[in-house]
Structure 1
């Protein structure tokens, strides 16, 4: 009897599960999904046209130095770079003396040798870029309850990362006047509003983010090489720099990859020819 009851319960469960699946599939196939502002007005990243893009991409050393300066003077106020050490800056063309001087301009956590208490000290080339906040609680308190992400791997952590960073930095808009292909956000979604403390940006997935526009005016950063410092230029340069922090070996990878591909093609041709030669007299 118990076995019969168990079979009936199992059969009933399978019938309910099958019914739910059929109803769900039918609903998905026949009902139109409700359009939201996020679906209609979220934009794909614009092309930053970086020299590092593509299969043959390389880094522009001067651009990386300009991007580092944008990070140092603007982005580092909120964002860490915890996977990059100061000595890595030598790859950007800085000399050993310049790296030492650059590192000494930053303060990192340390220990007082006389008291053993926590303190700060000038950074050494072997130190990593410090976080601007002592912990996540302090970070949330200073940023409308949002923790600014570490930027070391940001261009790898986001789809089309280099272009995403560039587009996000240059993409702040007024939602009241924003439109795409003639469709106005205010007209299509009159109830849409950017919450207090957030900022509208169509390149961010849900259109609103806690980060205020970091690049606000031309000449906000003065470049050592005299290059123009428009918002677009600064955004492009810091995007190139963050591409380097995420892929510092990009050039070496490209330089190694093509010879490997050519070798594999050549080896494949040789293997095929050897196969043909070995089995030529064995075929009937």
Structure 2
């Protein structure tokens, strides 16, 4: 009796799921979703083939330093890097003295109030500090950015699909809206205060073009600072901030595959040795 009741309950459950699936498929066929401008004109980023990509990828320290220079001179005005400490820059080739100099360029707000001015007390950053936010709080950040909240960039290449390629495409992808888009979707005109970028999810982004022209950053190593080069370099740097142990992970993965390969060969040899005298 109990088994029969359980079978009936299970059959009813399967029937309900089947009806739901049938209804969903029927709706998708008879009432397809309306086309949107974002669906039709959204572009996928191209592969910029960073040195860190692939199974044997490794970081190019000179490129990471150039990318940090772009972040420092351009991106840090709006975006934080709260999961990275100044002393972490030693991993990309900076000396202790250089890190100390870099850290002093940022000020850390103290929880106390300056008794002379009534303002929040500040101090120079130390190498052990994390990169501070350029804004006191979320309200201040939105007020300075047309009510948009600039995301923290520490993990941005992990948080976005096709991370480094997306960062590069987004930075270099600003353009005028195509006439075909406005002809087909006249209501999709980019609102005032926003900027058209086909690599952004809904095509319109609050952030103005951060790299507006070649030469915006003068590289210390003499590399020609084109917009494309600067975008590649900062994408590489943000790949490092998101995955500082990427090279060690690649090495560990290669060692694990090598071990498995040797183990398989030895196991096959042992199998052949144990069963060689067994007649079928």
- Decide: shared fold, TM above 0.5: yes
C-alpha separation in 2, matches of 1:197 and 1:111: 34
Task: Sort the Cα spacing of 1:281 and 1:37 in 2 relative to 1 into closer, same or farther, 3 A.
Answer: same
Alignment map for 1:1-284 (pairs within 5 Å): 21-110=21-110, 118-177=120-179, 184-280=180-276
Query: Alpha-carbon deviations, 1:179-232, whole Å to 9, x = none?
Result: xxxxx2122222221122211100011111111111111111111111111111
- TM-score normalised to structure 2 length: 0.87
Task: Sort the Cα spacing of 1:25 and 1:66 in 2 relative to 1 into closer, same or farther, 3 A.
Answer: same
C-alpha separation in 1, matches of 2:253 and 2:17: 50
Cα drift, residue 43 of structure 1: 0.4
Instruction: Tell me which residue corresponds to 1:3.
Output: none
Aligned residues: 267
C-alpha separation in 1, matches of 2:142 and 2:205: 13
Task: Sort the Cα spacing of 1:281 and 1:17 in 2 relative to 1 into closer, same or farther, 3 A.
Answer: closer
- For the residue of structure 2 that corresponds to 1:191, the secondary structure is helix
- For the residue of structure 1 that corresponds to 2:188, the secondary structure is coil
Aligned alpha-carbon RMSD (Å): 2.6
Give the gaps of 5 or more residues in structure 2.
Answer: 1-12
Cα drift, residue 49 of structure 1: 2.5
Task: Sort the Cα spacing of 1:112 and 1:146 in 2 relative to 1 into closer, same or farther, 3 A.
Answer: closer
C-alpha separation in 2, matches of 1:26 and 1:54: 42
Cα drift, residue 273 of structure 1: 2.5
C-alpha separation in 2, matches of 1:132 and 1:175: 31
Cα drift, residue 257 of structure 1: 2.0
Cα drift, residue 275 of structure 1: 3.2
Task: Sort the Cα spacing of 1:33 and 1:55 in 2 relative to 1 into closer, same or farther, 3 A.
Answer: same
Cα drift, residue 278 of structure 1: 3.2
Instruction: Tell me which residue corresponds to 1:8.
Output: none
Task: Sort the Cα spacing of 1:279 and 1:130 in 2 relative to 1 into closer, same or farther, 3 A.
Answer: same
- Checking the alignment, whether the CA contact within 8 Å between 2:113 and 2:121 is kept in structure 1 is no
